[in-house]
Structure 1
């Protein structure tokens, strides 16, 4: 018996697909034709004719003609019988020929099905004959156990032939497949009985079959072993600490209930152990009977001697111990320069690279033939970054910049590819420190795809392999692909698209990650047939990538760094290799060749600071250029602008994000371009109220640009009713901006509360840096675009990345014209006020100006005196003098001090809030002869109105 080799060898044979032929149809049984009827008319007519002829001629001889009728009837019946016998004989000959042909087809299909089943469910002999199948990951491998060979139900379908014994016999033969593997669920458990020597041989074969199907770690042998089972001690599964639990029992032993699979032997008269639902009764060295779930059948069995079992166990133990360090025992790490010097000239259209050495010599991988994309896995310290550097340098050494270029991405600190920065083939290095710039660089690959598609179309070629195409292949190398997706999950779709279309366009991916499972999507992994793995900690991860657990069995000491396994699509098993070590001189030698740098697949990033004088001029006077817009997916940078025709622009940004600078830039641009001067809304609440109250009914001229900084802060300084009225006024202006031909540009720190409704009315939006992702999303931004540490002026204008320029002039302040103090001029003025120091000061000024101050209780007797009379009273006093209050409100002047704002609606009957007055300022409202209230400034002691300065 052959022993499995310690080092798996390549086996090009693969199990064929199971048969999927159509059903075979048997000829129908012979059906005799219906017996023809007796020809009564044909038999009667000659009789009648003969009688008639005898009557006419009187000749007795004419009566002989009457005999023709019965003769015709007899002849017709005889001819029908002869035809039926002939048809039946022909049908039998044709049916026999068809059955012979069908029997041959059944035999061929049975052979194919039998071969497929044996390849799908190998026994010990098959495993030893096909060394590549040992420990190979396949569906149901290790879940089903081959008991032997026997008759099983066939997958060949046959119909027809009802009523024909020969056809029915052929159908019965087609339905049964002889000498096929008879399998049962391994977890059902098997108990073997019969002659002790034979029973032990069958138990050994069944146990070794499972050990050949599943590697240590996926299968382990548990429990105490009888002396007859000492051969199992040589198996590596005996030392495994994880996997399916297999228990081997000698006669008289019982399972403890912890085993997943039980293979037992029993003596005569013993019951089957717990966990054994299948009974195999060995009758002869090659024959046994099996009983499973009440179904009993005969089968040919397989048995191994103790010596054979030990030999297989030792070979499997050696196989488990095999590592790359053993293969390359005593070999010093190879230098990349040695491999490059001996590498042959690459063929056109290929990307071969000698990256390491195995026991047979240099190991070369071709990213075009073996790819087009590759996945590299390995835990920290296994040498993954060094492998990627070696691969890039090997490719750069063997190819010019006109043949290949690289885009490198390092997301584990930003220094892994420092040694490659000066290599002319490298178009750029992206790191996790670049923040939003990393996403921008990756998104530029979309434009690269379109550019390459255009180049192929222009050349009339279908792919880059066409000789008419002169494009360098672009290799995108990413170290820590998991970190890229964790920081930019939206790029998953981009990489899946590149993997699907990259082969034809000459774009190749090399994705480095610590583990593939849970990181790389199935759709992406399916397009990466070139797999490389250094040491990993999880056998399942190794099996996912390589189809074998070998990468998890690589040693983890320092000497084992750089030991890797490579598996190409055509490989039956992974290839073991020691990765070559690179040296700074390798990169220096490439730089010394002085090759021109290839085309960069993306434009330079936006500058962190941009001056307005460096911006291009607007194409029309009503367009304001704010900065530069960056569209990496189009490889385009152009002016970021806003037009008067847009109607409105909302700028949202956190502290020091540049929103006030952006508004000052707008005002600065308007002064230099638009015909109407800008209107900068002051920060003063009274002035802002007056402007929007006026614009609500009398809009500014067409072409006017309104600049309103810190809208949410301004709204927050108004009390409740005035805040709602001011917001409504702003919303009316924004809503009608396009129709009126004006542009309003406002800024907010956050889009929340009442400001959220107002923000929705703005036609365009510029999002600058915001403190939190939640603020960014609330402002209408994509959460993936949030960048808390972006430079001032960096943001997104309508989701397009922009850098806002610095204005030509420094921000100034908006000065307010001092309002003149109001003095009574009418014969009678009613003053509703509390006697605060400010009110007493105003009364003193009015008295010095000639007014007579009286209390509201004393106003009636002097009302007709013709002097300038001022009657003062608190709100409750005026309510007691309601007739006088009504006359003052309708016929004279009524002044209400701002401190009595809560009583304005009661005293005046106006439902709308009066013009806003700043709290604590000497203000009041004047209602003259029933007109709407207007704000006035009460005089101070020095007879001067206060002056207010607001920020621009």
Structure 2
């Protein structure tokens, strides 16, 4: 008969004593026959001959007989030694075998106990109450079909040459009377006489129900003739994913159940789908067909009376640990609970309300049982309905003088929408407005300080003192995990509020799908009032309730709205049905609410538009010497909104943001406050170069009307210059910023990106306003907090020093117009013209010639110098390399006359003029040129006949 395959159950347990090897003594082997002592035998003969030759005595020859005697004695001694060693080896081998047999028996007992500990049968489960419904990591979904022989982990080595050692090794490798476990979902057919077969099938069902709690599977109605005990099992009264059926019949048995135990009469074929077939011959013997192999086992059988007793014990256990699965599961209406208790107003320091019913109404007191609570539940369990019921019950029982609410919904914004109109509710924040939600939660910091100051002002120690006069504030959060995922920095705020909230009258009710990895230890320690609806993970149920109750099964149809309550004083959680609040209940509470309008815990969000005229003027009055107003700051943690000011002495401010973020509007707002002293740096690079150069060369002393310099899109403006001009322009702007504070001036810049030297300018400005950016990456690159990024920020919305700001708008502010072109220049005397042959150059020459100027080629003019100078309006024309070859003519023109250099010859300007400074910037290809007279400063001009668009 084959032995049971250990793969059908769990892996073979390790040897109970792996460090003590069981080793048998090897069998005795006869030693090889000793060789004949030739040398020892020859020596006496040689000695006798030598003595005879010396003495001549014939008696000396008798000594030769010693040789053969010594040889015979050596052989006899070897035989005696071998007999002695064999007897000793037999004694040691027998003693070792006895020791190993005792060790094998001991290890088999330990191994058997370990196997039965992993796979207990009905007898062991009933005997050991702690094993019932206990999760075992090695057990899995298996059931013991009987006891039999399985391979053992015990191994015996040694015993070579001993025929009795082989039998001992074979006995050690087999474990008798061990559990034979098979997968529960394999399907088991029990074939045998009706009475014995029914007892065996009964034992299999009871074993599965003892090992797995209700909810692991549910029992389908049985077609057995003794289903009285079957109906008493708690697994029969729950709805779960998997189903187990006890069926009678062979080929007609249905396969609708996930787990099938089918009883078949003798001679009938087993039903299809049953991988395990037990052919029961009697109460103590059966043949198990498992995977095509046959094993001899001893099955377990349970009588009807025993089955009924076990079923009753399981039902009682389920009622104690999981609640009354067979209780009244009809929906509970909040209005019915109010009708039962009359909803009278109550006095006192607590917040006690009824939120559901078991056999009696279930009440919680957020103050006495709290001061804070956590509510867990998976999607669809009714968590949001519980929170709504709790809030509505409190609003119905207490006035706005006693309790107010701040509701936060982070799962779509619909959970608390119907409560928004209640007088007690100071606000409903949702994840649809991330910025508003964050500022509302941060306002709780200011609420903490305000309540502390109010208690200090009235001399009250905490809110329960008569003189406090403060309503309790209950903060209810649905999907607390989602709130922390969006704003992880708020974890510290909630921990602080939980630690100090009791004395200040601030309470938390935090709803979340799971607590593991969401609520930190510091916050968790201050949440003694704990409620849980159904959860997916038993670890979450244990964390909240101390048991697996919330992860277990409930009656069919009650998956939504079944909850468990556990307070710090409770020894075990209490199961109840959550009351449902209807729309008419909300309307009734709104109509009957009493008390004044409660104080709002936070100010309204910043408006999308702030008019400069609506902001208060600084205390020292208006005028050019007053601080500049930038906009309106929002400080929710201080519960205030105040004007954002640029203080006196601040040299500059920079506005950073994408196109359309309100950067130009900010500069217009500043310009409107100092219209007489505001100077706009044009967007035209030529005009901007000239203006900045003038501002740097001629700084104004600190006047009564300080200068305001406005530069829009400075990064784009700098990007229009070539590298050498860009560096010089940035240096001049840096000089302006460094000198602005000393002379009372203010430089205001805007930019989209901090590229190149623009970053240095921004660092010199003491105030930085970060407006909307194109992406979060840009927001961070400009120095913003990633958590403060708003993808859909309105124009003018930004932050200054980490504080939310709405830039003020001045609609009557002047907007600078485009700069005009430079003057058109004509020669008045001898003039040198450095140019490259181009249509623009030829057009300019034709215009000058038409105006009466004489045009002479540089080569011809240079030859004329040899004969004498030409007089009158003469234009000497040559390309840069030609002027360099005729250096005497260049020196003549450069020293006493006008030298005009086409902008296309910019790279040769310094070499031709011997001037290390850059000339005024000129746009190339637009008919620009520089004119330089003697030692004077170069000047930008427009060549004649340049198109108007240039």
TM-score above 0.5, yes or no: yes
Question: Matched residues in 2 for 1:783 and 1:384: separation?
Answer: 32
Question: Matched residues in 2 for 1:521 and 1:188: separation?
Answer: 48
Question: Matched residues in 1 for 2:112 and 2:125: separation?
Answer: 11
1:74-97 CA-partner distances (Å, limit 9, x unpaired): xxxxxxxxxxxxxxxxxxxxxxxx
Residue 334 (structure 1) aligns with: 332
- Does residue 853 of structure 2 align to residue 851 of structure 1? yes
Question: Matched residues in 1 for 2:557 and 2:600: separation?
Answer: 38
Residue 901 (structure 1) aligns with: 906
Residue 749 (structure 1) aligns with: 752
Residue 656 (structure 1) aligns with: 660
- Of 496-505 and 553-562, deviating more is 553-562
Question: Given that residues 372 and 508 in structure 1 are in contact (C-alpha distance below 8 angstroms), is that contact kept between their aligned partners in structure 2?
Answer: yes
- Does residue 867 of structure 2 align to residue 869 of structure 1? no
- 5 Å matches for 1:291-370? 315-316=313-314, 319=317, 326-327=324-325, 329-341=327-339, 342=341, 346-359=346-359, 361-370=360-369
- Of 688-697 and 805-814, deviating more is 805-814
Residue 834 (structure 2) aligns with: 832
1:788 Cα deviation after fit: 1.7
Residue 884 (structure 1) aligns with: 889
Question: Given that residues 192 and 203 in structure 1 are in contact (C-alpha distance below 8 angstroms), is that contact kept between their aligned partners in structure 2?
Answer: no
- Does residue 768 of structure 2 align to residue 765 of structure 1? yes
Question: Matched residues in 2 for 1:917 and 1:753: separation?
Answer: 22
Aligned with 1:806 (options 800, 806, 809): 809
CA RMSD, 1 decimal: 3.4
- 5 Å matches for 1:393-412? 393-412=392-411
- Does residue 742 of structure 2 align to residue 739 of structure 1? yes
Question: Matched residues in 2 for 1:216 and 1:604: separation?
Answer: 56
Instruction: Mark the CA change 1:537 to 1:941 in structure 2 (over 3 Å): closer, same or farther.
Output: closer
Question: Matched residues in 2 for 1:400 and 1:463: separation?
Answer: 20
Residue 438 (structure 2) aligns with: 439
Question: Given that residues 215 and 237 in structure 1 are in contact (C-alpha distance below 8 angstroms), is that contact kept between their aligned partners in structure 2?
Answer: no
Unaligned stretches of 5+ residues in structure 2 = 1-15, 17-106, 148-176, 180-199, 217-302
Question: Given that residues 651 and 768 in structure 1 are in contact (C-alpha distance below 8 angstroms), is that contact kept between their aligned partners in structure 2?
Answer: yes
1:810 Cα deviation after fit: 5.8
Residue 450 (structure 1) aligns with: 449
- Does residue 646 of structure 2 align to residue 726 of structure 1? no
Question: Given that residues 122 and 210 in structure 2 are in contact (C-alpha distance below 8 angstroms), is that contact kept between their aligned partners in structure 1?
Answer: no
Instruction: Mark the CA change 1:365 to 1:881 in structure 2 (over 3 Å): closer, same or farther.
Output: same
- Of 585-594 and 706-715, deviating more is 585-594
Question: Matched residues in 1 for 2:740 and 2:139: separation?
Answer: 75
Equivalent position SS for 2:332: coil
Question: Matched residues in 2 for 1:707 and 1:625: separation?
Answer: 15
Residue 687 (structure 2) aligns with: 687
1:133-177 CA-partner distances (Å, limit 9, x unpaired): xxxxxxxxxxxx9xxxxxxxxxxxxxxxxxxxxxxxxxxxxxxxx
Instruction: Mark the CA change 1:771 to 1:472 in structure 2 (over 3 Å): closer, same or farther.
Output: same
Question: Matched residues in 2 for 1:236 and 1:910: separation?
Answer: 102
Question: Matched residues in 1 for 2:759 and 2:306: separation?
Answer: 81
Equivalent position SS for 2:536: coil
Question: Matched residues in 2 for 1:650 and 1:893: separation?
Answer: 43
Aligned with 1:226 (options 146, 153, 156): 146
Residue 564 (structure 1) aligns with: 563
Instruction: Mark the CA change 1:744 to 1:835 in structure 2 (over 3 Å): closer, same or farther.
Output: same
Residue 783 (structure 1) aligns with: 786
Question: Given that residues 328 and 358 in structure 1 are in contact (C-alpha distance below 8 angstroms), is that contact kept between their aligned partners in structure 2?
Answer: no
- 5 Å matches for 1:47-196? 190-191=110-111
Residue 628 (structure 1) aligns with: 632
Question: Given that residues 661 and 772 in structure 2 are in contact (C-alpha distance below 8 angstroms), is that contact kept between their aligned partners in structure 1?
Answer: yes
Question: Given that residues 769 and 792 in structure 1 are in contact (C-alpha distance below 8 angstroms), is that contact kept between their aligned partners in structure 2?
Answer: yes
Question: Matched residues in 2 for 1:325 and 1:447: separation?
Answer: 44
Residue 939 (structure 1) aligns with: 944
1:317 Cα deviation after fit: 7.0
1:448 Cα deviation after fit: 0.3
Question: Given that residues 132 and 211 in structure 2 are in contact (C-alpha distance below 8 angstroms), is that contact kept between their aligned partners in structure 1?
Answer: no
Question: Matched residues in 2 for 1:428 and 1:927: separation?
Answer: 72
1:773-796 CA-partner distances (Å, limit 9, x unpaired): 111111121111111211111111
Equivalent position SS for 1:939: coil
Residue 208 (structure 1) aligns with: 128
Residue 666 (structure 1) aligns with: 670
- 5 Å matches for 1:452-491? 452-491=451-490
- Of 741-750 and 332-341, deviating more is 332-341
Question: Given that residues 125 and 210 in structure 2 are in contact (C-alpha distance below 8 angstroms), is that contact kept between their aligned partners in structure 1?
Answer: no
Q: TM-score, normalised by structure 2?
A: 0.68
Equivalent position SS for 1:580: strand
- Of 446-455 and 922-931, deviating more is 922-931
Question: Matched residues in 1 for 2:125 and 2:432: separation?
Answer: 59
1:305-326 CA-partner distances (Å, limit 9, x unpaired): 9999996787357645889785
Instruction: Mark the CA change 1:512 to 1:631 in structure 2 (over 3 Å): closer, same or farther.
Output: same
Equivalences, count:
690
- Of 573-582 and 333-342, deviating more is 333-342
Equivalent position SS for 1:926: strand
1:55-92 CA-partner distances (Å, limit 9, x unpaired): xxxxxxxxxxxxxxxxxxxxxxxxxxxxxxxxxxxxxx
Question: Matched residues in 2 for 1:474 and 1:436: separation?
Answer: 22
- Does residue 609 of structure 2 align to residue 606 of structure 1? no
1:900 Cα deviation after fit: 1.2
Residue 924 (structure 1) aligns with: 929
Question: Matched residues in 2 for 1:920 and 1:556: separation?
Answer: 86
Question: Given that residues 382 and 556 in structure 1 are in contact (C-alpha distance below 8 angstroms), is that contact kept between their aligned partners in structure 2?
Answer: no
Residue 650 (structure 2) aligns with: 646
Question: Matched residues in 1 for 2:314 and 2:555: separation?
Answer: 22
Instruction: Mark the CA change 1:544 to 1:656 in structure 2 (over 3 Å): closer, same or farther.
Output: same
- Of 350-359 and 864-873, deviating more is 864-873
Aligned with 1:238 (options 211, 232, 235): 211
Residue 825 (structure 2) aligns with: 822
Question: Given that residues 121 and 207 in structure 2 are in contact (C-alpha distance below 8 angstroms), is that contact kept between their aligned partners in structure 1?
Answer: no
Residue 21 (structure 1) aligns with: none
Q: TM-score, normalised by structure 1?
A: 0.68
Equivalent position SS for 2:384: helix
Question: Given that residues 216 and 236 in structure 1 are in contact (C-alpha distance below 8 angstroms), is that contact kept between their aligned partners in structure 2?
Answer: no
Question: Matched residues in 2 for 1:223 and 1:559: separation?
Answer: 30
Question: Given that residues 329 and 558 in structure 2 are in contact (C-alpha distance below 8 angstroms), is that contact kept between their aligned partners in structure 1?
Answer: no
Question: Matched residues in 2 for 1:836 and 1:802: separation?
Answer: 54
Question: Given that residues 325 and 555 in structure 2 are in contact (C-alpha distance below 8 angstroms), is that contact kept between their aligned partners in structure 1?
Answer: no
Residue 842 (structure 1) aligns with: 844
Question: Given that residues 672 and 814 in structure 2 are in contact (C-alpha distance below 8 angstroms), is that contact kept between their aligned partners in structure 1?
Answer: no
Equivalent position SS for 1:447: helix
Unaligned stretches of 5+ residues in structure 1 = 1-144, 146-186, 243-304
Equivalent position SS for 2:128: helix
Question: Given that residues 204 and 309 in structure 1 are in contact (C-alpha distance below 8 angstroms), is that contact kept between their aligned partners in structure 2?
Answer: no
Question: Matched residues in 2 for 1:729 and 1:569: separation?
Answer: 71
1:686 Cα deviation after fit: 0.5
1:222 Cα deviation after fit: 4.1
- Of 910-919 and 595-604, deviating more is 910-919
1:835 Cα deviation after fit: 2.0
Instruction: Mark the CA change 1:506 to 1:658 in structure 2 (over 3 Å): closer, same or farther.
Output: same
1:675-721 CA-partner distances (Å, limit 9, x unpaired): x5210111111011111122223224531011111111111111221
1:374 Cα deviation after fit: 0.9
Question: Given that residues 563 and 576 in structure 1 are in contact (C-alpha distance below 8 angstroms), is that contact kept between their aligned partners in structure 2?
Answer: yes
Equivalent position SS for 1:646: coil
Question: Given that residues 927 and 934 in structure 1 are in contact (C-alpha distance below 8 angstroms), is that contact kept between their aligned partners in structure 2?
Answer: yes
- Does residue 382 of structure 2 align to residue 383 of structure 1? yes
Instruction: Mark the CA change 1:897 to 1:815 in structure 2 (over 3 Å): closer, same or farther.
Output: same
